[in-house]
Amino acid sequence: MSNPSAHQILGTEVTMPVEIRTARCFVAGFTADLTAVTRAIDAEAATPGTLRPLRIRPGRTMCMLVFVDYVDGDLGPYNEFGICFLVEDPTQPPASALSAFGKLARGDARALVHRLPVDGDFTLAAGRGIWGFPKTLADFDVDHDATTKHGRLSVDGALAVDLRVRRGLPVPSSASETVLNAYSQLDGVLRMTPWRLTSTTGTRTRIGGADLTLGDGAIADELRALKLGRHAMMSSSVDHLTMCFDDAVVID
């Protein structure tokens, strides 16, 4: 058996895989303009067209907005906000809309992590250095305990995103491992990271159920340019999840 890989991050050795023992999150999924999302993806890519948005209906794809509270993990406690696009498997031909909905229903859609503000220097350095995740620093004001989950993201003192997710219907807990393939393309390098969800409890989900307010600055302006649906397609919250991040694989 080979030895696990290790990375030096700000003078500290991080051994793979990175384990997250306790985290919680809430997420809202909005439809977005297919052309606008393609443009946003290609603007960060070394080879435009390598990653294609998952088309769920003519002219529309999915943009996921998620707040995560990493309570106990190998990178320490921190908050994170993600803007993620559901994408096709670049090794396969484009999926039909029916096939795309099947992927969503099975939970095996792939995602590009497009923006990833955090509130810690160590996780920022690790995220960029190990996986090529586009982490930046921001300020967070998040309530995961209320019935209606609420997250506010501010950059340079100005509100960027305000997201509320209302209570959904309970979903059975899972102790089985689910592997999500998360892509990143920092500095023009396309990577894929196996993201292993090892358990979830306290999951609730529903159709709609989210309220989004956009503020000022680059993140808010970019979200406006994506022409998000007026109402969320779905929303979900998870009270407790555990996961592991393996080393990223560079995609040629």
Q: To which residue do tokens 């390098």 refer? A: 189
For range 15-29, the mean pLDDT: 97
Phi, psi of 64 (to 5 degrees): -105, 130
Report the distance separating Cα 89 and Cα 149, nearest Å. Answer: 32
* Each residue's pLDDT tens digit, 171-203: 988 777 888 899 999 999 999 999 899 889 999
pLDDT at 51 over 50: yes
Global confidence as pTM: 0.94
Mean pLDDT of all residues in the chain? 93
* Each residue's pLDDT tens digit, 101-124: 555 555 567 999 999 999 999 999
Q: What is the set of domains in the chain, with CATH numbers? A: 6-250 (2.40.400.10)
Report the candidate in 177, 171, 219 with the shortest Cα–Cα distance to residue 195.
177
Share of the chain above pLDDT 70, in %: 93
What is the pLDDT, as a whole number, of residue 76? 97
* Each residue's pLDDT tens digit, 215-244: 999 999 999 999 999 999 999 999 999 999
